[in-house]
Chains A and B, each alone.
Chain A
Amino acid sequence: MTPELGQGGLLVALALALWGSAAAASGGRTGRGALVESAQHAAIGVFALVTGAFALLVVAFLRFDFSVRYVATNTNLGTPFWYRITGVWGALEGSIVLWAWMLSLYTLIVIARHRMRSRDLYPWVLSVMLAIMAFFLLVMTIAAPPFQRLAPVPADGRGLNPLLEDTGMITHPIALYLGFTGFTVPFAFAMAALITGRVSDAWLAATRRWTITAWYFLSLGLLIGGWWSYHVLGWGGYWAWDPVENAAFMPWLTGTAFLHSVMIQERRRMLKLWNIALVILTFSLTLFGTFLTRSGVIASVHAFTQGSIGIFFLTFLSLVVLVALGLLAFRWKDLEAQGQLDSVLSRESAFLLNNVLFVAAAFTVFFGTVFPLLAEAVRGTKVSVGAPFFNQVNIPLFLSLIFLMGIGPLIAWRRASPDNLRRNFLVPVVLGVAGAALFFFAGVRSALAVLCLALTVFVAATIGLDLVRATRSRARLGETVVPALGRLLLAHNRRYGGFIVHFGILIIAIGVTGSQAWSIQRETTLQRGETTELGGYRIRFDGLDARRESNHEAVLGTFTVTRGAGRAVTMQPAKKFYPQEQSPIAGVDYRLGLREDVYLVLGDFAQDGSHATIKVQVNRLVSWIWIGGAVLTLGAALALLPERRRATA
């Protein structure tokens, strides 16, 4: 009975969401508080019902209820406890449930936070959020019902995709979806602003922290995804420009643009139209990403018609874009800028350029992702543009963005005087050039690597210079240095949170540069006892072992790895054989280091253990990416703290 209970609950939730959306809209139009209150109750009901359905699905997984098709396809009796829970969002139906649950949770938080504050906008925000909620509930009732029964009931399920049996897959989807759904809130506020005509800055101020939250989770999701790719997939990389990755990267790019352009509107009353357009774009891209990854359209333009999910998302996406653009056109006159650009050498234009570059990057990623589909649809040919295309097009854009990261935060508003430029940028430019020379003489011969590292030095110097100056001026007022720095960060948490995020990006840039430029690998077959060498490491093959786990069998190779006269380390890369999979899954073994990682992938092997083929990689500076990611999330967390408005300035 429980599956029917879950599916029935979702149906009731759908009715509630539809009612709530209509009631909130009508309450917003007529000003009748009772209607808005009714919509709030509906939203609470939706949250309770979706939570209940989610819980029922988790219980179905834990109790191995294979009468539910989704459970039977995504778990089996041998699946370890935690992966039975994460299996809930391991595929389409469950991930829509997770998405909807987060959206209903966000709706509650919006009610709690904004009910009293953003009185004019609030009913419409609620209406838009419940309408979006209704769409996801509709998907769960018709296109991807999570509780659909399976007859006859199988004795055992098929099991989770083994690649998803990883701790990264517990957190990655959660972070990613918190990011995706998080952009619903700024979008709903933007829509409310357009509907009510209150397109001034109230909606921006109300959504500032929402945007940072969404951006924070999306960044975290992308980083965990990279980590998963690196340590699970066994190809030694963290980013492949796969359509699935691009789907999450596009809204990140436009969302990052939005985070920056907001500041221009706050300070100079410019870019109002642009900001609303960016929010619409970002939200649409989250829907587009789901369409792209869930509809099967990637496999072929003709594939997505096979399931209804693609049509659902495409229809909804078109509806969202049409309505949003219609409203935008309707309010066009109210969105004119009050300020204007005074000079090309100003913070405004640095930020504007930043925005253009971010949107350009998003466009190139979009283009590269859909290009094969377009080519197939228009000309019937199968063409692909792979990583070389994305790298070639995006590297100049990203390098320019890193350069702007040094300029933007320090250049003067309105018009930068020669004195302002000299004061802020002379030392960093000198350091950057000196850095370039240093790297060149230290043996870095790739022009791209030298350029990227020099830019990193330049930007780090601008951040350092600003921090030193600000701390010093506080210290001059009698504070000691360390508390002064701490108080400075807290007093201007948004600015310095941003600086720390920038610093994290620099560390990531170093990691990406280093891993692209200096990683080495070798693939070879070793007899037992034989040794191979790579990058100063000696790797000896000692033999094979077999091991039986709860849901798979594994063959482990034992290798002794030594470096110079250092201690010997035993590493055991494996091949894992899952009964539900046609082919084995690689079990990578790796030792992470600040300078380099040793990364072993077991290839083919002789049954008797006499020889094995091994891929050895020495991946340089990859750890910097994860460290940079940690720094970045710290900075975002600092920026999220409530702002203390110029209390100390």
Chain B
Amino acid sequence: MSRRGRFVAGGAVIAAALAYLIYSGVTQSAVYFVTPAELQAAPVAGKVYRLGGMVAPGTLRWEPTTLALSFTLTDGKASVPVRHHGTPPDLFGEKRGAVVEGRWTAEGYFSATQILAKHSEEYKAPHDGEPAGYKGMMKTLSTDGK
């Protein structure tokens, strides 16, 4: 093989390896964001989702001794019961938006491995009443980081 040919071949191998890395990375770690209504419409047990909604008032229970946390996420149309083991994060409470990551279980609840608190550099004003509404909230929630 000519010298140029060898470099071209080398480049092709690297490009293919990179494409494979990205492809497998995306297929393995892409997590779909769903709303409670979307999840309830077609729940798949065992699949990882990122579920966003509002913590329904009166549903938040936390047992400090066992660290058992449970609450219901709602989007106004449907609600999903969520269970988690751990301390509720600081930016978490009833009537507030939350995004949880975890699996839908066959027992009919969402088992969250992670509760994602919003990590934003700039301070966001508290919503007076509900100007953004569920729609606006879902939009912000759906891309929240850690």
Contacts and interface: CB of A to CB of B under 8 A. Distances in A.
Nearest to A601: B87
A337 to B, nearest CB: 12
A393 B22 contact: yes
A613 B64 contact: yes
B7 A92 contact: no
Interface string B52-76: 0000000000101101000000000
A388 B92 contact: no
A413 to B, nearest CB: 16
Interface residues of A, number: 62
Interface stretch (A41-49, A240-248, A490-498): A240-248
Interface string A496-523: 0000000000000000000000000001
A100 B21 CA distance: 39
A371 B143 CA distance: 11
Q: Could you say which of A341, A367, A383 has the most chain B C-beta atoms within 10 Å of its C-beta?
A: A383
Nearest to B140: A299
Nearest to B66: A525
A524 interface: yes
A315 interface: no
B112 to A, nearest CB: 14
A344 B6 contact: yes
Interface string A617-642: 00000000000000000000000000
Contact of A392 (B18, B24, B65, B88): B24
Name A's interface SS. Answer: mixed
- Considering residues B64, B123, B142, which has the most beta carbons from chain A within 10 angstroms of its beta carbon? B123
B90 A615 contact: no
A584 B90 CA distance: 6
B142 A382 contact: yes
B36 to A, nearest CB: 14
Interface in A557-588: 575, 580-586
Contacts of B92: 583
A298 B143 contact: yes
A382 B87 CA distance: 27
Interface in B1-37: 3, 6-7, 10-11, 14, 18, 21-22, 24-26, 28-34
Given A383-B30, A611-B64, A244 B123 contact: no
A384 B21 contact: no
Given A240-B146, A244-B121, A611-B64, A367 B22 contact: yes
B6 A386 contact: no
A154 interface: no
A158 B123 contact: yes
A384 B122 contact: no
A371 B142 contact: no
B44 to A, nearest CB: 15
A91 B121 CA distance: 8
Interface in A585-627: 585-586, 603-604, 606, 611, 613, 615
Contacts of B10: 344
Contact of B90 (A293, A580, A585, A606): A585
B90 A384 contact: no
A396 B21 contact: yes
Contact of B32 (A368, A382, A604): A382
Contacts, number: 126
B146 A242 contact: yes
Interface in A226-264: 233, 235, 240, 242-244
Contacts of A584: 90
B123 A384 contact: no
Interface centre among A91, A353, A384, A615 (most CB of B within 10 A): A384
Contacts of A2: none
A363 B18 CA distance: 10
B103 interface: no
A161 B123 contact: yes
B31 A385 contact: yes
A451 interface: no
Given A356-B14, A383-B32, A385-B29, A582 B126 contact: yes
B31 A384 contact: yes
B143 A300 contact: yes
B103 to A, nearest CB: 15
A389 B26 contact: yes
A382 B64 contact: no
Given A383-B31, A392-B21, A393-B21, A615 B7 contact: no
A360 interface: yes
Interface in B75-133: 86-88, 90-93, 96, 119, 121-123, 126
Nearest to A611: B64
A315 B38 CA distance: 36
A293 B122 CA distance: 11
A523 B115 CA distance: 15
B33 A384 contact: yes
B31 A242 contact: no
Contact of B145 (A242, A344, A371): A242
A557 to B, nearest CB: 13
Contacts of A344: 6-7, 10
A523 B145 contact: no
Interface string A175-213: 000000000000000000000000000000000000000
A393 B25 contact: yes
12 contacts: A240-B119, A244-B121, A302-B139, A341-B7, A344-B7, A353-B14, A382-B32, A382-B34, A384-B50, A386-B29, A580-B123, A611-B64
Given A235-B146, A382-B142, 8 more contacts: A73-B123, A242-B145, A382-B143, A384-B143, A385-B30, A386-B31, A397-B21, A523-B67
Give the 9 A-B residue pairs with the shortest CB-CB distance, closest first.
A382-B33, A603-B87, A388-B29, A389-B29, A525-B64, A382-B142, A393-B25, A389-B25, A583-B90
